Structure 1
Amino acid sequence: MHRTRRLVPAIAAMVAGAVLAAGTVSACQADQKPEPEQSAAAPVVPAAPTPTPLPSAAPGTAGPDAERSAWLGEQLREIVDAQHFDDVVNAKTGKRPPAMPNVDVAVIELDDTGRPVAAANTLLTQKHPHGVAVPVTRDLSAPGVRWTHWSNSVWAAKKSTEPLLADRGDAPLEFMTPYPASVFKLIVAFGVARLADRGGVRYDEVYDYRPRKATCPDGRKPGKHSVSWWLDAMLTYSSNTATCALLMMLHERDGVAPMNGALRSLGLPTLRVVNTDPADGGGWSFWGLTMTALDTSRLLLLFTEAPGTLWRTPKGDPVTVGVLKRSSRATLRKMLRDQGLNQALSTANWCGQDYPAQGIPHAVPKRWIDPATGVVHVEDRTYRGDVRKCADDAEVEFAHKTGLVPSAGADAGIVTALPGAKPRRYVISVFSNLGCTYVDFVGAYDGACRYTEKLATLGAAVDALMTKTAGRATATLVSGG
């Protein structure tokens, strides 16, 4: 499908072509660099249709309504299909990708108390070029999928990789889950919060990071800051050094294995941070860092104040936000609300620009905006344009974390309507292998490593759907545990 570059904020224009180079594109300057070593082991945004009101789950039960989830799943599949994710080009050659990109999108619709009303998960692959709506259980899981490890070369060859989970051999769907890039820092944040809740560290405690190696993506950069400072740097502007520091601290205090074990016991088995280097917190790999959209969305639910049982573990135990203490949940939410890298599902850092298209309609936190010029500065990154003139158009708060490397683009967060805006509340996560190797057109963002705007148009379409469904899902769910 051939398209021309559009000059108004509708949908990205494209250049046609074919083929990919599996390696890093030299023109890309990723927010997370360099890309990890791969382990040998391992037209306009479509308007969402107005829904027919569906019943909520019966009082006294926990979990989303199955009928409503099935309906939401089909709506999400149609939205994902409408983005034409294969209509991107190689940043250097202008040629099309060798296979349909792999995209994993999950949405959990919440009622006005923050409890799940419906959940959906769509997977886009070469076997399902128009997307497939994955059946989601009342425990917000997708047992019908055989998740496998990511490999650039295997994807380009249209083959399969080894399984991520050992007990899914009979599952009818197979999906090679993209590398999560910096969204994996949500797992590290969970691990630090869990350690703090158990008295293993204090947020105001000063941690002296003295790496003994240089496997961290940003090299060997010692530092001495409070744990809260390291957390803020990791979550708000995606500091790799801060992430390595916190991972090294977790290794030193025996927090990594318990963190992964806790995620498994909670029924979030695809969320893993393994084989990182205790000597500096580096050693990130395609095989060692894994996440899927639905499990990530459930992890984000644990950062909220939603009442009652959210889902049940594989053993049948109720899962509540009490997994983390209220103070830790508040700390993480504040940092995610202060996100500086609003450039994927939300493109607020380019607010008012013709390109990229607007995504989820939220505003850049004031801490990143130059009060004299309105230009967004996030550490060593500067974004063009005055965002103050369109900040009043913001409709939601988006507490989120992005991730970007040449072969992966991701975003995950919690959306809540601002006072006076049309009501909606939901969690959304997206993982894709569309990093800055594949862009909307050659020369996009002047060659800097950025996301295709298709993630933004996806975010805008989901937000429009959630806005239209708001009020049709009443807050009648009651804890089942």
Structure 2
Amino acid sequence: MNAPDAPTPISTVASASEPATAMATATSADPARSPKTTLTHDSLARALREAVLAQDFGATLDAQDGGKPMRHFPSLDLAVAAYPEHGAPVWANVLFSREHPEGLIAAIPDNAGPVGNVRFLADTRDAAGNSVAWAPDSDWSAMRWTPLAGDAGPRMVAPYPASLLKLMLLAGLGRLVDQGRASWWQPLSYRGRERLVTDWAYDMVTWSSNEATSALVTLMHAAGAIRREIGRDGGREVHNELHTLFASLGLTTLRFANTTADGGWGNGAGSGVGQLQMTAWDTVRLLWWLDPMAPSAPWLPADAPRLSPESRNQMLRALEDQALHEVLSSDALGGVPGWVPGLPARLPGKWLRRDGALHAGERDYPGDLRRFAVGGEVWFAHKTGNTENYASNAGIVSGIAPRRRHYAIALLSNLGARYAPDSRCATTWRIPALGAAIDARLASWLET
């Protein structure tokens, strides 16, 4: 499923003028043949943009539209923060949508603060609670949008993060524990099941258990970290300490709003699409804050919240044991016909049965995947998200010795399962191909 040659790149928010040379596809990306450029914010942004354009995402087939190529260029929000062994961190954020198919390069200040040249709008749903922005015949000019962040520049509709949102809840839980208001080791009952908080959190992340997510939402409410007044309209949120945490970290596009005390966090509970929001750059910065091996975060004040070693380790353990390598990395899909390699991560072997098939919680993947549990070039501590309309992935990449690359990456998109080539896939093969291409380019910069 290799893409044709990419449109030509641009240096700013404008049309392209010269051919793309770096990162054409996962199979053609060859670091040895990549341009001998220096790793800078600008060169990284150009490389990310070229990588996206090279995949020809606009040609992706849409099952919701009779299997025809999608009518609108998809929305993709992609950010990377790279940590060279010698030198300062380097970062970039590129964004695409039906209104900006050639891509925008985000303006990020010298201290890695918030994006300054984009107006982010929250995703939306109709009066019946349906996610409508991504329907084949959707008309954005007729929709009402709620501002998310930013007050200048081109508008970008931020796609619902799907289960990547569980990363926000995990961070809020870590903070709650560090304040002495909960414990990783306390029993927590939800719908007749009692388990330790750490076990609920582990399942929420490693195989994306929705039940575990609901259990932990009830804990946040019971501890008073989230409060919602009850009314005839279902109530409204009046207190949210996750938002306080994100504001103290300068992550203004991370929103975990309008969940309910009984564990509701979807559209039917008045939360979900448009209420649970993330952008790629703020997600990368959340991972930067979490990563103990990353350099100091330059945008954070000295009194910014810090995680205790115990909470950080609990969070990283779950991210490192991620079973769902099916978006930027694709090892879990190695038994699916037409498999396309993604970011070359090592698959945690704990999820494999004797025959090599993967089983994690309620998730099963076919084939003998044992080669992925002993191979790979990097560790990928990450969280995925996937629904019919959305696919996302974000995590921390670190090289398996002797490889030395280290970076954080986040991708949010509206390329959900309706664009997948197989019912067992989360998204189009173009996304793991993008992950492989980006990793190859970063390896050429970070390991030379």
TM-score (norm 1): 0.78
Whole-angstrom distance in 2 between the partners of 1:318 and 1:52: 34
Match of 1:305 among 279, 292, 297: 292
For residue 389 of structure 1, give the secondary structure of its aligned residue in structure 2. Answer: helix
Read off the aligned partner of 2:92 and give its amino acid letter. A
1:118 paired to 2:105: no
Q: CA deviation at 1:448?
A: 4.3
Q: How many residues align?
A: 396
Q: CA deviation at 1:255?
A: 1.8
Q: CA deviation at 1:353?
A: 5.7
Change in Cα spacing, 1:348 to 1:136, as seen in structure 2 (3 Å) is same
Partner of 2:12: none
- Listed as ranges, the matches of 1:293-372 within 5 Å are 293-306=280-293, 309-313=296-300, 317-318=301-302, 323-351=306-334, 355-370=338-353, 372=354
Partner of 1:106: 79
1:467 paired to 2:443: yes
Contact in 1 for aligned 2:348/2:373 (Cα 8 Å): no
Partner of 1:450: 426
Partner of 1:26: none
Whole-angstrom distance in 2 between the partners of 1:116 and 1:291: 26
Q: CA deviation at 1:264?
A: 1.3
Whole-angstrom distance in 2 between the partners of 1:330 and 1:147: 32
Whole-angstrom distance in 2 between the partners of 1:132 and 1:272: 23
Whole-angstrom distance in 2 between the partners of 1:153 and 1:98: 14
Bigger shift: residues 386-395 or 462-471: 386-395
What runs of 5+ residues in structure 2 fail to find an aligned partner?
Answer: 5-23, 125-130, 227-239
Partner of 1:270: 253
Contact in 2 for aligned 1:341/1:402 (Cα 8 Å): yes
Contact in 1 for aligned 2:288/2:294 (Cα 8 Å): no
Whole-angstrom distance in 1 between the partners of 2:146 and 2:245: 21
- Listed as ranges, the matches of 1:27-426 within 5 Å are 44-45=25-26, 46-47=28-29, 49-53=34-38, 68-92=40-64, 93-112=66-85, 117-140=89-112, 141-151=114-124, 152-155=131-134, 156-159=138-141, 161-165=144-148, 168-169=150-151, 171-209=152-190, 221-256=191-226, 257-282=240-265, 283=269, 284-306=271-293, 309-313=296-300, 317-318=301-302, 323-351=306-334, 355-370=338-353, 372-420=354-402, 422-426=403-407
Q: CA deviation at 1:326?
A: 1.5
Whole-angstrom distance in 2 between the partners of 1:77 and 1:309: 27
What runs of 5+ residues in structure 1 fail to find an aligned partner?
Answer: 1-5, 13-42, 55-67, 210-220, 473-481
Whole-angstrom distance in 2 between the partners of 1:307 and 1:318: 16
Q: CA deviation at 1:352?
A: 6.7
* RMSD of Structure 2 on Structure 1 (CA): 2.2
Q: CA deviation at 1:297?
A: 0.6
Identity of aligned residues (%): 31
Q: CA deviation at 1:111?
A: 2.6
For residue 102 of structure 2, give the secondary structure of its aligned residue in structure 1. Answer: coil
Contact in 1 for aligned 2:418/2:427 (Cα 8 Å): no
Contact in 1 for aligned 2:347/2:372 (Cα 8 Å): no
Whole-angstrom distance in 2 between the partners of 1:358 and 1:72: 22
Contact in 2 for aligned 1:183/1:411 (Cα 8 Å): yes
Contact in 2 for aligned 1:116/1:310 (Cα 8 Å): no
Change in Cα spacing, 1:396 to 1:308, as seen in structure 2 (3 Å) is closer
Change in Cα spacing, 1:307 to 1:356, as seen in structure 2 (3 Å) is closer
Q: CA deviation at 1:145?
A: 1.0
For residue 176 of structure 2, give the secondary structure of its aligned residue in structure 1. Answer: helix
Q: CA deviation at 1:181?
A: 0.3
For residue 323 of structure 1, give the secondary structure of its aligned residue in structure 2. Answer: coil
Contact in 2 for aligned 1:165/1:270 (Cα 8 Å): yes
Read off the aligned partner of 1:52 and give its amino acid letter. T
Cα displacement string for residues 102-122 of structure 1 (whole angstroms, at most 9, x for unaligned residues)? 010001101339x96111111
Whole-angstrom distance in 1 between the partners of 2:419 and 2:397: 27
Contact in 2 for aligned 1:407/1:434 (Cα 8 Å): yes
Which structure is higher in RCO with an 8 Å CA cutoff and minimum separation 6? 1
For residue 350 of structure 2, give the secondary structure of its aligned residue in structure 1. Answer: helix
